[in-house]
Copies of this chain bind each other. A is one copy, B any other.
Amino acid sequence: MLKCTRCGRTYPETFRLRCDCGGTLLVERGYYDFFGSILPYLDMRRYLSFLPIGGNYLPPAVPSITPTTSLQIGSAFGLFKLEYLQPSGSFKDRGTFVTVAKLMEGGINEVVIDSSGNAALSMALYSLPAGIRVHAFVSYDAMQEKLSLLQRLGAIVHFVDGDRMEVHERAVEFAEREGVTYVSHWFNPYFLEGTKTAAFEAYEQVGVPDYVLAPIGSGTLFLGLWKGFKELEKMGEITRLPVFVAVQASGYESLCERSKLSNPLADGIAIPEPPRREEMEKVLGETGGTCVSVGEPETRGALSWLRRVGFLVEPTSATVLAAMWNLVERGEIPDGSKVLLPLTGSGLKLTQGI
């Protein structure tokens, strides 16, 4: 069932973004035996038993299990999870895979999405075989290469002259006016069901990390990772949660204090008012976590370090490493800690450099 994070009201598992009270929803189900429920696939279908989809329609471009590889950072360990090795080039495919399966169950064939680029790219790619028509609302400032791909994937692109929040509002207006289903990952509870599988994988690969550092725009990866580890805890598989650290871009903070200087490189997380903010605060409280804000120079430095190690990612993805450097330097991460660093988006498409 779907359960409201604010008033607790429940709904059946159809495609729905919010509670009637306005609160955001989470999928709630009981799972019992983690290893006993894993299916013998070597891709995301491995975790199908934990996903709220019937399986009548699964998108052909199944997301992969991404490698997790450890490198020493100061006297701690960064466990880099290569979440960008997915069909559309970002972790979003995990959420989109579940979302599109769910849309097909509900017979929905036209949707509206707003995005800085990756979420729309992912939705456009997965909607093609499903025959879903995609209206993508993006800012004129979105990266040229992402827009070019988006159009090649047949999305109907609506340009908005404004920032990320403005893009969001125009998309909502359009959806209401035209009676088209709005599928924003900002709200969509099924999106988090997809991203939670990254936690299951990480657990199989490296056990429970001491820390999880996730970039936060709308929080879909952060909350998905939290939900995944939380379900492992409920299944009795683990006894403690990692400490969750929110990584944000300067100037767009929703959890850290708002900076005056802004970080234009982290386009994927330039979301100053995410609807799931309260849920994220709760996770920081529950796990004893904190928030780190990352500026442009550190992002640039981290991006270049990552490239030199062989991780070709986009700037938003580099913020988590910059945040880890910051925490290590401030002595806030004890020696020998294992820190999960999901790298979210591919740098392959940025052929024009940054």
Query: Nearest residue in B to A78 (C-beta to C-beta)?
Result: B60
For residue A43, give the distance in angstroms from its CB to the closest CB of chain B.
Answer: 4
* B310 in contact with A125 (CB, 8 Å): yes
Task: Confirm or deny: A1 has a beta carbon within 8 angstroms of a beta carbon on chain B.
Answer: no
* Separation of A131 and B308 alpha carbons in the complex (Å): 9
Task: Confirm or deny: A89 has a beta carbon within 8 angstroms of a beta carbon on chain B.
Answer: yes
A22-51 vs B, Cβ < 8 Å mask (1 yes, 0 no): 000000000000000000011110000000
Residues of A at the B interface (CB closer than 8 Å) are: 41-44, 59-69, 71, 80, 82, 85-89, 125-126, 128-129, 144-145, 148-149, 152-153, 201, 204-205, 307-312, 346, 348-349, 351-353
* A60 in contact with B71 (CB, 8 Å): yes
For residue A108, give the distance in angstroms from its CB to the closest CB of chain B.
Answer: 18
For residue A28, give the distance in angstroms from its CB to the closest CB of chain B.
Answer: 27
* Separation of A310 and B126 alpha carbons in the complex (Å): 6
For residue A302, give the distance in angstroms from its CB to the closest CB of chain B.
Answer: 15
* Separation of A145 and B325 alpha carbons in the complex (Å): 32
Knowing A64-B82, A80-B60, the reply to whether A153 touches B307 (Cβ < 8 A) is yes
A153 contact set on B, CB distance < 8 A: 307, 312
A80 contact set on B, CB distance < 8 A: 60
For residue A85, give the distance in angstroms from its CB to the closest CB of chain B.
Answer: 5
For residue A349, give the distance in angstroms from its CB to the closest CB of chain B.
Answer: 5
Most buried by B among A43, A67, A89: A67
For residue A158, give the distance in angstroms from its CB to the closest CB of chain B.
Answer: 20
A144 contact set on B, CB distance < 8 A: 351
* B86 in contact with A85 (CB, 8 Å): yes
